[in-house]
Amino acid sequence: MLKILKYLTRKDWSFILCSFIFVVLQVYLDLKLPDYMSEITMLVQTPNSEISEILSSGGYMLLCALGSLVASFIVGYFAAKIATNLSWTLRSKLYDKIEGFSLAEINKFSTSSLITRSTNDITQIQNIVAMGLQLIIKAPITAIWAVCKILGKGWEWTAATGGALLVLLFIILIIMIFALPKFKKIQKLTDRLNLVNRENLTGIRVVRAYNAEGYQSEKFEKVNNDLTNNNLVINRVMAIMQPGMMLVMNGLSLAIYWIGAYLIDGANMMDKMGLFSDMIVFSSYSMQVIMAFMMLTMIFIMLPRASVSSKRILEVLNTRESIIDGNKDIKNISKTGEIEFKNVSFKYPDSEESEYVLQDINFKVNKGETVAIIGSTGSGKTSLINLIPRFYDVSEGEVLVNGVNVKDYKQKSLNNILGYVHQKAVLFTGSIMSNVAYGDNGKDIYSENDVKKAVKIAQGTEFVEKMTNTYSASISQGGKNVSGGQKQRLSIARAICRRPEIYIFDDSFSALDYKTDRKLRSVLKSEIKGATNLIVAQRIGTIIDADKIIVLDEGKIVGIGTHNYLMKTCKVYQEIAYSQLSKEELVNA
């Protein structure tokens, strides 16, 4: 937990110092009240006492109470400010860290867990800091100062206070034994609940299509019950704490007054007044001691969960990124639009030694060429494409873009070269304009004309201009209010709008009909002349005109060449071709 405090700024530490000063002031004023109470008690019992003296002491008591209240407000303000600043810093650093993660790190933690760590876990830290600064500082000071005040007032009362503290410590021990293990489970169970919720909401159409609402409900109920039962155990144990502590406090008050009555009864007349005054003062100070321990108990209860949360946050922040930025900038590179794979082999992180997805991949794509990659499902097409923008790094060999190893590029510079269209079209909440003119590749901000031209090339003008507000039309989360083909065309328009050197289409035409597919590719060829195109496809019709076709089978290249050449020399390509088109269609293609 202490390690998380290194993210406090210098300004936060100055606030902590101010908080400490005002806490000391607050404790001083709180502990001054019993002294004035003792004076009033003595004055009331002293013959010929002036009412003005009693009112004066009462006035000082009132000022102390008001001063303590003001100091409490100031401490609360500083604590809230520090806690909020820390949570802001942690949330920002966590977001920036996750942004730099490769797919390997994201898969290691899981999306639902990263969301929980960015929200719920940081909230736990915020709560403990806000409460802790007020209670952790105040409780020990109050306890030590109050104990010093009551020393020498009577061993009987001291023994009673000591006994009350032992009972209080016993209650705390019970809570620690039964509640702490449950606190440690809560965050993992919250992760699991978020995962089930996220899966259900993301796949709601599939759930309904298969009448799986009951199955999903059972799945949710199980996780929800686990979290609920865990919380119930904690709440039941905590429910014992409040009445238990109140019992200790009231029992101690009763014991002090009972002992006081016994002592006063046995004392002579001269000592009775002093004993009565001591009893009143001791009662007040002993309550302060008990309250201090109660405050510490609250911290001990909150600390385990916050400690687990801090470890989970630090686990993300301390994770070493597998994708390290290089130092090459595109301004210093003369070649453009070239891609080369040299002896590339790849296996996913944490895979078995022999589980290579790609093996010994060698090929070169020259500037302006259209190169297609085809193969059966699971042959490694997408894995190969993912190595170019460094979603993963190669296990062996090297990938060159414009003659430079992708590992040597600054990631921002590498991304500016590429126009990437994922096989699952991704749209963001916003408008058509904001989705097409998305991101920044280091050039001027895109104008509306740039967006319109990109949408036109992607064959999207017709449906976009039919929408209400056309290019300002609203896009819902995940692009749920447009069809799959429309999403793909907008994703392609986004890549075109960047005007990159290299286009990577990862099965990006699959949701288009054959007519739109052919027309789009024809327009692309003429409009983005000079750019390099790398196309992953399942359909022969999409890649039949490519300058070069690479055929993958079980992670290995089994054929490279034009369509006609592969039809004569590559059995795997022939099988794919004949499974999709007739011999007559292939001859006329």
Are 21 and 92 part of one and the same domain?
yes
Write down the pLDDT at residue 354: 64
Cβ atoms 305, 124 nearer than 8 A:
yes
Residue 436 falls inside a structural domain: no
Instruction: Give Cβ neighbours of residue 560 (< 8 Å, ≥ 6 apart).
Output: 363, 548, 549, 550, 551
- The alpha carbon torsion through 119, 121, 123, 127 (nearest 10 deg) reads 180
CATH of the domain at 336: 3.40.50.300
Are 75 and 128 part of one and the same domain?
yes
DSSP state of 182: H
Residue 43 falls inside a structural domain: yes
Q: For the chain of 589 residues, list the mean pLDDT of each consecutive stretch of 10.
A: 80 86 83 74 68 79 86 87 89 86 79 82 85 76 72 71 80 74 76 83 81 86 88 78 78 80 71 69 74 74 77 85 75 75 86 78 87 85 88 87 86 84 82 80 63 83 82 79 82 84 82 76 78 84 83 87 85 83 59
In this structure, which amino acid lies at residue 549? I
In this structure, which amino acid lies at residue 352? E
What total of structural domains would you count in the chain? 2
Transcribe 418-442 into DSSP letters.
EEEE-SS----SEEHHHHHT-S--S
Are 362 and 390 part of one and the same domain?
yes
Residue 452 falls inside a structural domain: no
Are 236 and 347 part of one and the same domain?
no
DSSP state of 323: S
Are 491 and 412 part of one and the same domain?
yes
Are 303 and 343 part of one and the same domain?
no
In this structure, which amino acid lies at residue 173? L
Residue 360 falls inside a structural domain: yes
Are 309 and 358 part of one and the same domain?
no
Last residue of a domain, which of 292, 317, 342?
317
pTM: predicted TM-score of the whole model, two decimal places: 0.71
Retrieve residue 327's tokens.
């130092």
Are 502 and 529 part of one and the same domain?
yes
Residue 459 falls inside a structural domain: no
Are 392 and 281 part of one and the same domain?
no
Last residue of a domain, which of 317, 345, 376?
317
Are 113 and 248 part of one and the same domain?
yes
Retrieve residue 569's tokens.
């020399």
Residue 460 falls inside a structural domain: no
In this structure, which amino acid lies at residue 260? G
Write down the pLDDT at residue 333: 67
3-state secondary structure 481-508: CCCHHHHHHHHHHHHHHHCCCEEEEECC
Residue 448 falls inside a structural domain: no
Write down the pLDDT at residue 270: 63
Residue 178 falls inside a structural domain: yes
Are 213 and 313 part of one and the same domain?
yes
> 298 is in which domain, residue-wise?
8-317
